[in-house]
Chains A and B, each alone.
Chain A
Amino acid sequence: AQRVTQPEKLLSVFKGAPVELKCNYSYSGSPELFWYVQYSRQRLQLLLRHISRESIKGFTADLNKGETSFHLKKPFAQEEDSAMYYCALRGNFGNEKLTFGTGTRLTIIP
């Protein structure tokens, strides 16, 4: 069975400090990992996917197959980063369902 674990429900970080949102997964094959963000009262938006290996809004995430992790990082937090962040997994056959973690609410303290 596939599972995504986000151990922190809430995370508060001072503006300018580094941010790390943890995500671990369980999947028998080679999954695709995503980070989605949900700003207040808005839709789920794709932030990152591991195959793109790009940085969006200063965020990066590296897939670590040995540790089965896909942690989201940003070196310097900004107030506009306050949001709900969801890690999600998709199987390796393309258009499969997404399995989400429980989400982490990130609050940036000014």
Chain B
Amino acid sequence: EPEVTQTPSHQVTQMGQEVILRCVPISNHLYFYWYRQILGQKVEFLVSFYNNEISEKSEIFDDQFSVERPDGSNFTLKIRSTKLEDSAMYFCASSGMGDQPQHFGDGTRLSIL
């Protein structure tokens, strides 16, 4: 069964540095999402992406965040200048057309020092 893959599995970064989290969605999917889960808290929506543009974003997704689909397979989340509170598990998800459910990757654990 095809899967969403995320790299790296764990990223440790100094506060203030830029970080890029990578995702390869399922190949025939058209909708892409990023969620995050701060330790001990619930999974929160960050952004959705369709047809090469953001379709929705949450209040968490401020100017420090950006998403990109640089080629036909990757979907990236960039945090420009990381803060301590960005430490979390970041999940990528993708879905197909219509009412297809979202499929999640294994997540990237981001630790900001």
Chain A residues with CB under 8 Å of chain B are: 32, 34, 36, 42-46, 49, 51, 86, 88, 94-103
CA distance A88 to B104 in the complex (A): 13
C-beta contact mask, B27-54 vs A, less than 8 Å → 1, else 0? 0000101010000011111001010000
User: Which of A32, A36, A44, A103: most chain B Cβ within 10 A?
Assistant: A44
Q: Are A32 and B43 in contact (CB under 8 A)?
A: no
* Given A46-B101, A94-B98, A94-B99, also A99-B45 (CB < 8 A): yes
Q: Are B42 and A100 in contact (CB under 8 A)?
A: yes
Could you show 21 A-B contacts with beta carbons less than 8 Å apart? Answer: A32-B99, A34-B101, A43-B4, A43-B91, A43-B104, A44-B43, A44-B104, A45-B104, A46-B102, A46-B103, A49-B101, A88-B43, A94-B98, A95-B48, A95-B95, A97-B45, A97-B48, A97-B58, A98-B43, A100-B43, A102-B41
Q: Does B86 contact A (CB under 8 A)?
A: no
Q: Are B33 and A97 in contact (CB under 8 A)?
A: yes
Q: Does B25 contact A (CB under 8 A)?
A: no
CA distance A42 to B103 in the complex (A): 13
CA distance A51 to B98 in the complex (A): 13
Interface size on B, residues (CB 8 A): 28
Q: Are A103 and B42 in contact (CB under 8 A)?
A: yes
Q: Are A101 and B42 in contact (CB under 8 A)?
A: yes
Q: Are A98 and B45 in contact (CB under 8 A)?
A: yes
C-beta contact mask, B79-95 vs A, less than 8 Å → 1, else 0? 00000000000010101
C-beta contact mask, B7-42 vs A, less than 8 Å → 1, else 0? 000000000000000000000000101010000011
* Given A44-B43, A86-B43, also A98-B99 (CB < 8 A): no
CA distance A62 to B28 in the complex (A): 30
Q: Are A96 and B99 in contact (CB under 8 A)?
A: no
CA distance A100 to B35 in the complex (A): 10
- Closest CB in chain B relative to A26 CB, distance in Å: 15
CA distance A102 to B48 in the complex (A): 21
CA distance A100 to B104 in the complex (A): 13
Q: Which residues of A contact B95 (CB under 8 A)?
A: 95
Q: Which residues of B contact A45 (CB under 8 A)?
A: 104
